[in-house]
Amino acid sequence: MIEIRHLRTLTALREAGTLAGAAIRLHLTQSALSHQIRSLEERLGLPLLRRARRPLRFTAAGERLLTLADRLLPALEITRRELERMGAGRAGRLHLAIECHSCFDWLMPAMDAYRPRWPEVEIDLSLAYGFEPLPALARGDLDLVITVDPEERDDLRFFPLFRHEAVLLTAPGHRLATRPWIEPMDLAAETVITYPVPLERLDLYRHFLRPARVEPRARRTAELTAVLLQLVASGRGVAALPRWAAAAFVARGSVVARPLGREAMWATLYAGIRSEHGETAYIRDFIETARRTAFRELEGIRP
């Protein structure tokens, strides 16, 4: 019933104070403007103007519509400008989540490098989706997810960032600390510390233990990488992490890193986005920035 043009008309009337002045502002004839106002009044069943007054005065109903116009029209204009910038690839939203919790150390510098180049992109790192961010990405709650578990589906696309070696971490005095590499049976008597995710999503189980039909003695979980490493360092168990994620602890001698298998075990980290954003400039540039930052910040990764 009430259209945007009606709100613009009432605002022009308030600003001009006369029908003639408002008609000029709206690029209408005075007759067309009068007809539009009377038509709206008939639809509403209420007068909007006190026409006997000079300058024009609004009735209570007219003032109520002006209040609506003052709230709605500026928001529409802001949205229009934002959509124009988005259409030009200069603005938008980039809400991220990390499935790989050891990724914070290099992702934060990537965000810092990205922001000055794309100041009109609203960038945010969400912790609300825990270890299951891909459904949120598909729904549109997130715009990019860093993951080691790409899924084959039409609505999502995954771009490889880098390959990294997964290693077994032990306390320095642990019985496995002197092994040249770790075999699956070596973990049969161990407590393995992992992130709190289903076992089928852990590379240690999927690609190392279960193909050899080996089950560790026990499993313990920790949500934070730093806590996980502290547990390993204190002899509470062993853990498998990317070599770069434990580099500082290894350098200090707090933990020992050993290859998983004679040939070592490598995995690929991906950036996942919705397929509709595959060519969006500011999203593709973030992926490239993240990749460049990783190779600058991390040791031992491969293209």
Q: Which residue, among 271, 284, 282, has the nearest Cα to 93 in the 3D structure?
A: 282
Could you tell me the CA-to-CA distances from 26 to 21, 61, 133, 272 in Å, in that order?
Answer: 9, 22, 49, 47
57-58 vs 49-50, strand pairing mode: antiparallel
* pLDDT attached to residue 271: 96
Q: 254: which residues sit within 8 A by CB, 6+ positions away?
A: 172, 229, 233
* pLDDT attached to residue 277: 87
Residue ranges in the chain whose pLDDT is less than 50: none
Contact criterion met (CB below 8 Å) for 286 and 124: no
* pLDDT attached to residue 215: 96
The pTM for the full model equals 0.65
Contact criterion met (CB below 8 Å) for 95 and 126: yes
* pLDDT attached to residue 291: 93
Q: Which residue, among 166, 299, 177, has the nearest Cα to 232 in the 3D structure?
A: 177
Say which amino acid occupies 54.
Answer: R
Peptide bond into 55 cis (omega under 30): yes
* pLDDT attached to residue 87: 58
Residue 198 corresponds to which tokens in the numbers above? 């289903």
* pLDDT attached to residue 76: 83
* pLDDT attached to residue 106: 82
